[in-house]
Amino acid sequence: MPELPEVEHVARQLRGELIGRTIVAAHVIWARSVQGMDPLEFEERLRGRTVTAIGRRAKYLLISLDDGDALVIHRRMSGNLILAEKDAAAPYTRVAFTLDDGRQLLYTDPRKFGRLLLVSEDTLEQVFAALGPEPLEADFTPEVLEQQLAGRDRAIKALLLDQSVVAGLGNIYADEALFRARIHPLRRASTLTHDEIAALYAGIQGALRTGIEHGGTTFGRFRDVYNEAGRNLEHVEVYQRTGQPCPHCATPIERITVAQRSTHFCPTCQQAHQ
DNA sequence: CTATAAACCTGCTGGC
DNA sequence: TGCCAGCAGGTTTATA
């Protein structure tokens, strides 16, 4: 669920709420939500730490701490970070942090797929080693995208979901980016023209920026730090709009399966062969 | 390199 | 109304 825009939105909210706050206590309720460390050690190392910065890499949220460690959170399918009052409870809370102002930061996750890691700053590089370029950073250019796709013979939709090709796209924004670029999701990457890749580049950035602008896309469970849904669903053009008219040509949107993921596209605007 | 399946989990939806 | 199969935004690992 949380793709780059949803993580970015929450990162921006937390930046205003968490920097300078001290974690008075951490409480792990579902042990497997903590990766690579005993939950007791996780709780101990977090106690008394002050938040110095909030960052994001791909779909990972980073909470930097005053001892040089970073709390890294990947919410996978159903994780949410919610700010709550002192004694408030949220359903499916897996890890709870008590802050020095009395409030709590609750990690909720019905499906238990999400993971929290506590790592030293110099270990971060390893955690992110397999990630491709950050699509909204200045060093991501159409040329970089072209290079990432060069010689690849897979369906373009599958490659957009591959975090080592471009980091941060998920099923929603991959479909949206392809629609914006008018590229059929099953096109082999190696058949894309220079111009099509340029259009795809613009589509990726446009879809992500629109998502961030509207506080992320809530389809199902995504909530922000204030437990509010994202507003981007009404700005989505093809995702989950099977049978509805294409916003560009009114042809009904179709749904197929690509790389085992539901995929939505306009059969008129996104032709299999240009 | 590519493709596919399964695993990790629970909740929701649609069909009967 | 009740039950059950199938599906869900992600990633990793195994197998072919």
Nucleic strand B under 7 Å from the C-beta of A259? yes
- Distance, CA of A37 to CA of A46 (rounded, Å): 12
- Distance, CA of A239 to CA of A228 (rounded, Å): 21
The pLDDT assigned to A219 comes to 83
The pLDDT assigned to A274 comes to 59
The pLDDT assigned to A133 comes to 97
Span A130-134, average pLDDT: 96
Nucleic strand B under 7 Å from the C-beta of A158? yes
Distance A2 CA to C4 C1' (A): 29
* Angle between helical axes of A194-213 and A142-149 (0-180°, round to 10): 110
Q: What is the pLDDT of residues A138-195, one digit of tens each?
A: 999 999 999 999 999 999 999 999 999 999 999 999 999 999 999 999 999 999 999 9
> Which residues of A are marked as active site?
2-3, 59, 261
Span A128-132, average pLDDT: 95
Provide φ and ψ at A18, rounded to 5°.
-105, -25
Instruction: Give chain C positions with protein CB within 7 A.
Output: 7-12
Instruction: Tell me the percentage of chain A whose pLDDT exceeds 90.
Output: 95
The tokens describing A48, both together, are 């008394």
The pLDDT assigned to A264 comes to 95
Span A53-66, average pLDDT: 97
The pLDDT assigned to A263 comes to 95
What is the rounded average pLDDT for all residues in chain A? 95
Distance A121 CA to B10 C1' (A): 34
Span A88-116, average pLDDT: 96
Of A113, A80, A86, residue with least CA distance to A14: A80
For residue A141, give the amino acid letter.
Answer: T
Nucleotide nearest to A2 (CA to C1'): C9
Tally of CA atoms within 13 A in the half-sphere of A214 that contains its CB:
16
Nucleotide nearest to A3 (CA to C1'): C9
Whole-number Cα distances in Å, A239 to A46, A48, A202, A213, A243: 39, 43, 18, 17, 11
The tokens describing A16, both together, are 């205003």
The pLDDT assigned to A259 comes to 92
Distance A258 CA to B6 C1' (A): 17
Distance A156 CA to B6 C1' (A): 24
For residue A185, give the amino acid letter.
Answer: P
Distance A111 CA to C4 C1' (A): 20
Q: What is the pLDDT of residues A16-48, one digit of tens each?
A: 999 999 999 999 999 999 999 999 999 999 999
Instruction: Give chain B positions with protein CB within 7 A.
Output: 1-5, 8-11
C-beta separation of A131 from A110 below 8 A: no
Nucleic strand B under 7 Å from the C-beta of A253? no
DSSP-derived secondary structure letter, A245: B
The pLDDT assigned to A273 comes to 73
Distance A111 CA to B9 C1' (A): 4
The pLDDT assigned to A258 comes to 94
The pLDDT assigned to A8 comes to 96
Q: Which residue is nearest to nucleotide C11 (CA to C1')?
A: A76
A200 has pLDDT over 80? yes
For residue A157, give the amino acid letter.
Answer: K
Our CA dihedral for A245, A251, A162, A70, rounded to 10 degrees, sits at -20
A201 has pLDDT over 80? yes
The pLDDT assigned to A272 comes to 87
Q: Is A222 helix (H, G, I), strand (E, B) or coil?
A: coil
- Distance, CA of A30 to CA of A53 (rounded, Å): 26
Assessment of whether the complete model's pTM goes beyond 0.95? yes
Nucleotide nearest to A222 (CA to C1'): C9
CB atoms within 10 A of CB A146: 17
C-beta separation of A262 from A253 below 8 A: no
> Which residues of the protein are close to the nucleic strand C, CB under 7 angstroms?
A 1-3, 6, 58-59, 74, 76-77, 111, 113, 130, 161, 163, 170-172, 217-222, 261-262
HEC per residue, A63-123: EEECCCEEEEEECCCCCEEEEECCCCCCCCEEEEEEECCCCEEEEECCCCCCEEEEEEHHH
